[in-house]
Structure 1
Amino acid sequence: MSLLAVISAEGQVKKADSPWPLVQQQMRPWTRWWWMGNAVDEKNLASALSAYAAAGIGGVEITPIYGAKGFEDRYIDFLSPRWMSMLSFTVNKAKALGMGVDMNTGTGWPFGGPQITPQFAASKLVLQRYLIPKGESLKESITIKDEKQRKAGAVLQAVTAYAADGQVFSLFDKVDAKGQLQWTAPASDVEIYAIFSGRTLQQVKRAAPSGEGYTLDHLDKASVDVYLERFDQAFKGKSPGVRSFFNDSYEVYGANWTPTFLKAFKQLKGYDLSTHIRALTGKDSTSTEAGRLKSDYRETMSKLLLENFTQNWTSWAHRYKSLTKNQSHGSPGNLLDLYATVDIPETETFGSSHFDIPGVRRDSADIRNVDPDPVMSKFASSAAHTTGKTLVSSETFTWLTEHFKTSFSQAKPEAEQLFLSGINHIFYHGTTFSPAEIPFPGWLFYASTNMVPANSLWPQLKGMDDYFTRCQSLLQSGRSDNELLIYWPVYDAWSNPKGMDMPMKVHDVDVWLYPSEFYRQSLKLAGLGYSFDFASDHMLAGARAEKGLLVTSPKASPYQTLIIPAAKLMPLKTLEDILALARNGATVIFQQFPEDVPGLADLEKNRSAFKSLIAGLDLKSLSAGVKGTAYGSGQILLAKEIQKALAFKKLDGEKLTETGLKFIRRKLTNGKYYFLVNHTAKTIDEYIPLNSSSPLVTLLDPLSGDYGRAQTQTKEGKTWVKVHLQPGETFFLQTGSSPIIRKPWTYLAKPAETLVLDDHWDLHFTQGGPVLPADKHLDKLISWTKLNDSLATSFSGTGAYTRTFTMPRQLQGEYLLNLGKVDESAHVWINGKDAGIIWSIPFQARIGKFLRPGQNTIRIEVANLMANRIRYMDQKGIPWRNYHEINFVNINYKPFDASAWEPMPSGLLGPVKITGYH
């Protein structure tokens, strides 16, 4: 290690004179790396990885998928010796470049393949109904009618008769080997429900060569073991050297059963599910009893998925000295427990969000059914925080916009919203491997933002990558610093009487998340400046009270208070665990007491004990809107408005949110990091209060890497920090600063004269296509598409703007360059010196150190989107997409065609201004 570096108290390597950690690979953004047809080779792999590393990407996540037509002779079978050789080469080359490698434990998604025979394939309950008049017998045999299910080996598992007079008969043992029911109906008509363990017959989506086959049964350990055995054979007992194995979101459609479900249900719930088949399969029921039954069913499914797949797969990965990275959303289970089981929980963003930042483009055609939701993202980060895990990742920018129209300035606030939710390890969605000889735009994946070297923005990607790297270097430091732990009442959702299984999808949060008081209170508390994580019933069972705080893991930061939002249903065991925490010293705030226990198992016994515990709480009025009682060495409070109980306990949110700023904190050994984000439409220029008292505060700018000692005041024991944040800007504050930063931060508070550079620009196109337009002299700044030049209208690439300008003899203390409107990213040189990449709103940078009195030169290289060149290619009928499987689709999953697009504005539109500051 260099003598100029030190190990911080947080275990990170830092330069001795800088508050920024030295960059490690996990701090950089990583990318999902599609191998189309596995048509990879060492030369092109080495070239691609080198390009990614140069752009600031820290690692790749290999996901093999279908291939391009015409290149079948290059395809490599998944997990074959040749494929393993390519993987080994990739791991070694990446290591030499300082990069990491993750690997999908499969191809496409979800897990499955040729080793999954129908015996081990994803299962579903198949129902057949029969009617028997009173006193008669069933004439037909009870055998599977669906020919596909018969071939797949569907097995009869239960036969239950429901008589018109209310009697229920279990008849499975009265069906002979030929399916004949040896039974006569009683003195009332009877409806027979026969269930078979069938198969969904779902195939792996977007499979790569030798990855095709049935999706596996995630609920069955034997099926998972058979699936993983193929990898064991390919690895031959040796670690493949990947950092982490990856599993995409759970998209196993209709998989609501497994052959052992009845047995597992009986073991968990103590009663026979087969006698309740009519209620279980009733899709439009509104009865409370059906909801209770389905809650028990969904809880059983959650347990099977957790134990037989997630824990099983993670244990398998650890045997190869690798981690697991899992997207639990979409699973029919408790998301918090599923996320918490793996080493790196991963969420995803799908679609675009609305931001009030002036100038952020959001095309109405790009808007999905629901926006990416920070509360949804907090399920993954909460699982990491409560278990003390450092990394929380995200599949980032999936379908952020239509193809070829995604700008860096649109990506930035989406990523910041993830950071604010506790995500600190983003993966681009994504990058497609493409051999060098494939012409523009190379091989591409249909749902990606196309972070590929062929992208016309690629020469300036490092600007965004460096920003994300600086953010993540601090967001991976220390521990999360959230004061509240909020219980997630999953049983309220599980008790919905409609349907059977309940996949909790990112795209369906308006169904299972938005209607809950849990969601509404989370938003309200965040708006009041509180920081929090979510906890499951299982997490509360493992928590303990220690010195008045809640401890969920030895590696996790403790919480000051447990919040129980209004919930109708709560298991008796969970209530007992909550009261035990209070008894041992914790503070618990109920918005209201839950009404009842969920499920049918031991209902009356559990209900009686539950109500007795609630009735035993002798609450008294403590303040306006707050009731409570001492409970053991802790306290239980009841407040319809949770913030009133928090105020009673003198637990204040961060008042800085009253300005419109959003934040997240990280706890350091000596101090904290605050990440401040201005996603409002206004400039915030004032002192803001912090819920801490620190003699020193360092301000760190992740966009430029600059830093300095902040101006502070002390009021009533709290530190107030001077901030100046324009819309779209972010800063980190470090309290209790170490090392001590003596250089003061330069606030741009007093503008002086402004120099406007709107005319007399020379424009030279440097790289791109289809053809480089001729040089231009611009009397005013306008879009390339307005130059009355068809070559410029169709051009995607980089154009360099140059001119000279004169500065006064006496320079100010600092100067700010504002480029105005940029379509889409700019790299600036002043007097031949690199002044940085200006790639996001508000498109400005400090340039005082580059200026000199008198004549100066400025060169601005502007990169536009790929859209105009793709539009040209589609108009001319130039082929560029020809893939197997789904081929290439637009954001609405229709065949892609850009020929009717309007040209996207391109270039430097200004006004360009240089403003001095005293």
Structure 2
Amino acid sequence: MKRSLLVLTLLAALLSAEGQGIKPKSNPWPEIQQQMRPWTRWWWMGNAVDEKNLSTALSAYAAAGIGGVEITPIYGAKGYEDRYIDFLSPNWMGMLDFTIKKAASLGMGVDMNTGTGWPFGGPQVTPGFAASKLIVQQYRMPRGQLLKEAIEIKDNTQQKAGAKLQAVTAYTADGQVFNLTDKVDSKGQLNWQAQGADAEIYAVFSGRTLQQVKRAAPSGEGDTLDHLDKPSVNAYLKRFDQAFAGHSPCVRAFFNDSYEVYGATWTPTFLKEFKRLKGYDLSDHIRELISKDSLSQENGRLKSDYRETMSQLLLENFTQNWTNWAHQYKSITKNQSHGSPGNLLDLYAAVDIPETETFGSSHFDIPGLRRDSADIRNVDPDPMMSKFASSAAHTTGKTLVSSETFTWLTEHFKTSFSQAKPEAERLFLAGINHIFYHGTTFTPSDIKFPGWLFYASTNMVPANSLWPQLKGMDSYFSRCQSLLQSGKSDNEILIYWPVYDAWSSPKGLDMPMKVHDVDVWLYPTEFYKQSMLLAKNGYSFDFASDHMLATAKADKGQLVTSAMANPYRTLVVPACKFMPLATLKDILSLAHDGVTVIFQTLPEGVPGLSNLEKNNAEFKSLIGGLDLKSLSNGLKGIKWGEGEILVTGDVQQALSFKNIEGEQLSKSGLKFIRRKLDDGKYYFLVNHTAKTIDEWVPLNLNSPSVALLDPQSGDYGQAQIQLKDGKTWVKVYMQPGETFFLQTGDKKTDKKWVYLSKPGKPMSLDQNWKLHFTQGRPALPSDKQLDHLVSWTALNDTAATAFSGTGAYSRTFMLPAKIRGEYVLSLGTVDETAHVWINVQDAGIVWSIPFQTRIGKFLKPGKNTIRIEVANLMANRIRDMDIKGIPWRNYHEINFVNINYKPFNAAGWTPVPSGLLGPVQITGYNR
């Protein structure tokens, strides 16, 4: 009972839109709570887990600053089959229960994949519940003759899988269409003749994709689920009901990975559901439906109706159904909707925590940030793609929106924390506020280095040589997320997503909205181009679906999408060809009630074939009733009830006309996102440029106080501000790679921020270092006395070249009487992270560009000591193992591959630079 009450309390907190945390009176930072820390996807390889090693692993994760784990069982390591545990067996459920209790004792949370590997499927998915596909066989029938061959599925595999005939349609050469389904007998014989002209016969079968669960764990193998069919989903979930035996497992959230159900273009009830939703018989249009390269607008309209039906079935029968099921167990759902053949916004919005993902790495202009083309995939994560998930959260008032983060960020064993940081910040800027590392693999203690590893992850595991300093990055992300989860999103513009323009393409059949296909369905659109332009000019926005607009309201001239969401100042409709009649009516109604609506161009008509003539006539009548007047050059508009409708090719012109400004701070090169609090706002500022930004930047508000909070160190102070032109201007000094939060409002902090814009002469510390290796593999190199700083690979020591681990640099230095307001230690180039002690006092972990930290409070006049523990990458140790032929990878399924999905081998690598390379300097700054 106590655990159930705990889960209910957690559920209420997570679904609250406020989630502001508890702030000690003396500190502006919120108290760090469980969901504010980064979590990690936790692979159970072969489910070869046990209580002792689970306890050890969770304790190590908690000590490193990880807030929770997301359990995903997958294939196992060869040779350890006797340790495997069948998924959902009593033994497995015992391990889950132990994990949840142990995690709770450490202040951690637990999420659970509702399956193994991906996508959902398994032994409970019998052929009748497996993912389906449309199969159409064609026959030619001369007039006046009977079809000699039987109409039955020809593919032997599909025969065995139970493919069923669902419809038979004849198209005659003189343009007639006949539904012949009831003319086919039990033996497949067609009892019909084409009288007036030759005919083409199209036979529709409900076949099976035959896709198996990818990367399945023991007892998770089997067919992929039919997500479009409610009985299939219920049958799939029944296995979990049986394992749970009526009791909640007390996981925080059930998780579903990205929709990767390949070729699932059908469900056995599709014809019936299509007629229910669209009002006409799809079997009369099979020839048009399966056309691949047609440019016919009518075919495009038909396929729009087909794709909309798929979207609705996926929403109703899987997403909403699965979420309702999870709520019965007092848990919530976390779903990656991207890749689905449906409206991403509605699918994301239907779950409790929308989740996006990053795949590959992005280019940043930050000087010194390594991005070797040989070590990255040719994929750039797109922030606009992430905004589909965050928009769904913001418009519905959800607190959390998460991300599977750093998937294939670089080649194995070459990912540095400094590379991870700006990638995560791009997610934060897109509205994501809870990171899940991709990821961590459970490894028993008796498995030799590097332990068990998953083939596509950044290896956030204790065996990673960077692990001893992971807490530095975890603390940074925790501070960022503590503020980004506070209050509500503060975006002023809502942008309509014209999904029907994409759905109306006459090419292809289903249309999965994949992360890897954004160049097809997203990039060419005005929706994307206008979004990018608005972001560049400092505007903040979310995306809205047709359904979201249908439920939105006007309130005092603003657009309200949910009682829990922050209202929007205007609705922008980018250029689109198609818009449902109902959506146009909803938009005009919002305008009538006081909302300003900006059309880039007016839409042409309705999508689809359903009631086309009637709907289009009414649509054009409504558009024609907009008696637009010229307001300025290129801008037309009309008062519409209490609101206004504006039409212009230049959306920013209309925004300026309504005095809606973007944040001018973006002109400096800074990127930002805002959160609205009861008593002010948070601005998250990011410098991803190549320059130091040392200037006054304006905020779109008038605040009597602005506090500056540094998420790297946890330091804070009152910022310098001035009032000009009705706006608060803030003094900002940010080097490339730095981030800060600004907190506006009436409250003042108890100290001033010390700006680093008046440097004295730097003191060089590049010589006379002692280097002592403290921990690592394969063996500790001997101590070194360094006249100058060089990479460990340049020490003419084979042990140091092959070494992955930690080396401690130490020396003394003299400091004259302290006369500066602050002192900064700059480490120059660090490969890869550094933990600093000054005079035996912990001065923090320096793990990212610009590799510097404030140390004034640790210094004293005269003699000082400095110790810097530097950790390098795993790469050189793995290289040495592969050169020597030491076995370390032997898994079932995909085994272990490189970034190009080829067999992995590091023997040909060049040793990567390691250690402290400098220049190391201490610089004093006047106040």
Give the alignment's TM-score, normalised by structure 2: 0.98
* Rounded Cα–Cα distance in structure 2 between residues aligned with 1:190 and 1:889: 52
User: Which residue is 2:232 aligned to?
Assistant: 223
1:827 aligns with 2:808: no
User: Which residue is 2:13 aligned to?
Assistant: none
User: Which residue is 1:582 aligned to?
Assistant: 591
- Are the counterparts in 1 of residues 810 and 865 from structure 2 also a CA contact under 8 Å? yes
1:520 aligns with 2:521: no
User: Which residue is 1:782 aligned to?
Assistant: 790
Match among 419, 430, 446 for residue 421 of structure 1: 430
Shift in Å at residue 596 of structure 1?
1.4
Superposed CA deviations along residues 192-223 of structure 1, whole A, max 9, x for unmatched, are 11110011011000000000000110000000
Residue type matched to 2:898 in 1? N
* Rounded Cα–Cα distance in structure 1 between residues aligned with 2:294 and 2:886: 55
User: Which residue is 2:55 aligned to?
Assistant: 46
User: Which residue is 2:768 aligned to?
Assistant: 760
* Rounded Cα–Cα distance in structure 2 between residues aligned with 1:334 and 1:185: 41
User: Which residue is 1:868 aligned to?
Assistant: 876
Superposed CA deviations along residues 358-411 of structure 1, whole A, max 9, x for unmatched, are 011111134434310000000000000000000000000000000000000000
- Are the counterparts in 2 of residues 491 and 570 from structure 1 also a CA contact under 8 Å? yes
CA RMSD of aligned residues (A): 0.9
- Are the counterparts in 1 of residues 19 and 485 from structure 2 also a CA contact under 8 Å? no
**Pairs within 5 Å for 1:191-590:** 191-590=200-599
- Are the counterparts in 1 of residues 132 and 207 from structure 2 also a CA contact under 8 Å? yes
- Quick one: structure 1 residues 810 and 586, their matched pair in 2 at CA, closer, same or farther if it must change by over 3 Å? closer
Shift in Å at residue 274 of structure 1?
0.4
SS where residue 14 of structure 1 aligns? coil
- Are the counterparts in 2 of residues 39 and 74 from structure 1 also a CA contact under 8 Å? yes
Shift in Å at residue 720 of structure 1?
0.1
User: Which residue is 1:904 aligned to?
Assistant: 912
User: Which residue is 1:736 aligned to?
Assistant: 745
1:13 aligns with 2:29: no
SS where residue 599 of structure 1 aligns? coil
1:699 aligns with 2:708: yes
Match among 842, 845, 850 for residue 842 of structure 1: 850
User: Which residue is 1:882 aligned to?
Assistant: 890
Superposed CA deviations along residues 478-530 of structure 1, whole A, max 9, x for unmatched, are 00000000000000000111111000001111111000000000000001100
Residue type matched to 1:322 in 2? S
* Rounded Cα–Cα distance in structure 2 between residues aligned with 1:257 and 1:571: 24
User: Which residue is 1:141 aligned to?
Assistant: 150
User: Which residue is 1:595 aligned to?
Assistant: 604
Match among 157, 167, 171 for residue 162 of structure 1: 171
User: Which residue is 2:14 aligned to?
Assistant: none
* Rounded Cα–Cα distance in structure 2 between residues aligned with 1:367 and 1:134: 60
- Are the counterparts in 2 of residues 369 and 507 from structure 1 also a CA contact under 8 Å? no
- Are the counterparts in 2 of residues 370 and 510 from structure 1 also a CA contact under 8 Å? no
* Rounded Cα–Cα distance in structure 2 between residues aligned with 1:910 and 1:165: 82
- Are the counterparts in 1 of residues 21 and 32 from structure 2 also a CA contact under 8 Å? no
Shift in Å at residue 191 of structure 1?
1.3
Shift in Å at residue 35 of structure 1?
0.2
* Rounded Cα–Cα distance in structure 2 between residues aligned with 1:686 and 1:157: 69
Consecutive unaligned residues of structure 1, counting only runs of 5 or more, are 1-7
My pick for the range that moved more, 747-756 or 375-384, is: 747-756
User: Which residue is 2:802 aligned to?
Assistant: 794
SS where residue 13 of structure 1 aligns? coil
Superposed CA deviations along residues 307-356 of structure 1, whole A, max 9, x for unmatched, are 00000000000000000000000000000000000000000000000000
Shift in Å at residue 768 of structure 1?
0.5
- Are the counterparts in 2 of residues 347 and 380 from structure 1 also a CA contact under 8 Å? yes
* Rounded Cα–Cα distance in structure 1 between residues aligned with 2:275 and 2:203: 18
SS where residue 753 of structure 1 aligns? coil
* Rounded Cα–Cα distance in structure 1 between residues aligned with 2:199 and 2:905: 57
1:895 aligns with 2:890: no
* Rounded Cα–Cα distance in structure 1 between residues aligned with 2:711 and 2:314: 40
- Are the counterparts in 1 of residues 376 and 411 from structure 2 also a CA contact under 8 Å? no
* Rounded Cα–Cα distance in structure 1 between residues aligned with 2:542 and 2:469: 36
Structure 1 residue runs of 4 or more that deviate by more than 4 Å after TM superposition: 8-11
**Pairs within 5 Å for 1:84-123:** 84-123=93-132
* Rounded Cα–Cα distance in structure 2 between residues aligned with 1:810 and 1:231: 66
1:658 aligns with 2:667: yes
- Are the counterparts in 2 of residues 698 and 737 from structure 1 also a CA contact under 8 Å? no
Consecutive unaligned residues of structure 2, counting only runs of 5 or more, are 1-16
User: Which residue is 1:747 aligned to?
Assistant: 755
* Rounded Cα–Cα distance in structure 1 between residues aligned with 2:552 and 2:761: 60
- Are the counterparts in 1 of residues 377 and 410 from structure 2 also a CA contact under 8 Å? no
- Are the counterparts in 1 of residues 669 and 689 from structure 2 also a CA contact under 8 Å? yes
SS where residue 893 of structure 1 aligns? coil
* Rounded Cα–Cα distance in structure 2 between residues aligned with 1:768 and 1:805: 28
The count of residues paired between Structure 1 and Structure 2 equals 910
Residue type matched to 1:812 in 2? R
* Rounded Cα–Cα distance in structure 2 between residues aligned with 1:80 and 1:471: 39
- Are the counterparts in 2 of residues 479 and 668 from structure 1 also a CA contact under 8 Å? yes
* Rounded Cα–Cα distance in structure 2 between residues aligned with 1:376 and 1:60: 25
My pick for the range that moved more, 62-71 or 620-629, is: 620-629
Shift in Å at residue 168 of structure 1?
1.4
* Rounded Cα–Cα distance in structure 2 between residues aligned with 1:764 and 1:512: 55
* Rounded Cα–Cα distance in structure 2 between residues aligned with 1:872 and 1:657: 47
* Rounded Cα–Cα distance in structure 2 between residues aligned with 1:144 and 1:809: 90
* Rounded Cα–Cα distance in structure 1 between residues aligned with 2:61 and 2:316: 37
* Rounded Cα–Cα distance in structure 1 between residues aligned with 2:150 and 2:642: 65
* Rounded Cα–Cα distance in structure 2 between residues aligned with 1:844 and 1:800: 17
* Rounded Cα–Cα distance in structure 2 between residues aligned with 1:104 and 1:678: 36
Shift in Å at residue 737 of structure 1?
4.8
* Rounded Cα–Cα distance in structure 2 between residues aligned with 1:186 and 1:554: 63
* Rounded Cα–Cα distance in structure 2 between residues aligned with 1:198 and 1:244: 33
Match among 817, 820, 827 for residue 809 of structure 1: 817
Superposed CA deviations along residues 517-574 of structure 1, whole A, max 9, x for unmatched, are 0000000000110000000000000001011000000000000000000001101010
My pick for the range that moved more, 156-165 or 88-97, is: 156-165
Shift in Å at residue 742 of structure 1?
2.7
Shift in Å at residue 609 of structure 1?
0.4
SS where residue 230 of structure 1 aligns? helix
- Quick one: structure 1 residues 810 and 209, their matched pair in 2 at CA, closer, same or farther if it must change by over 3 Å? closer
Shift in Å at residue 10 of structure 1?
6.5
SS where residue 22 of structure 1 aligns? coil
User: Which residue is 1:636 aligned to?
Assistant: 645
User: Which residue is 1:683 aligned to?
Assistant: 692
Superposed CA deviations along residues 228-247 of structure 1, whole A, max 9, x for unmatched, are 00000000111101000000
Give the alignment's TM-score, normalised by structure 1: 0.98
SS where residue 171 of structure 2 aligns? strand
* Rounded Cα–Cα distance in structure 2 between residues aligned with 1:225 and 1:365: 46
**Pairs within 5 Å for 1:14-93:** 14-93=23-102
SS where residue 92 of structure 1 aligns? helix
Residue type matched to 2:888 in 1? W
- Are the counterparts in 1 of residues 831 and 871 from structure 2 also a CA contact under 8 Å? yes
SS where residue 15 of structure 1 aligns? coil
* Rounded Cα–Cα distance in structure 1 between residues aligned with 2:173 and 2:52: 73
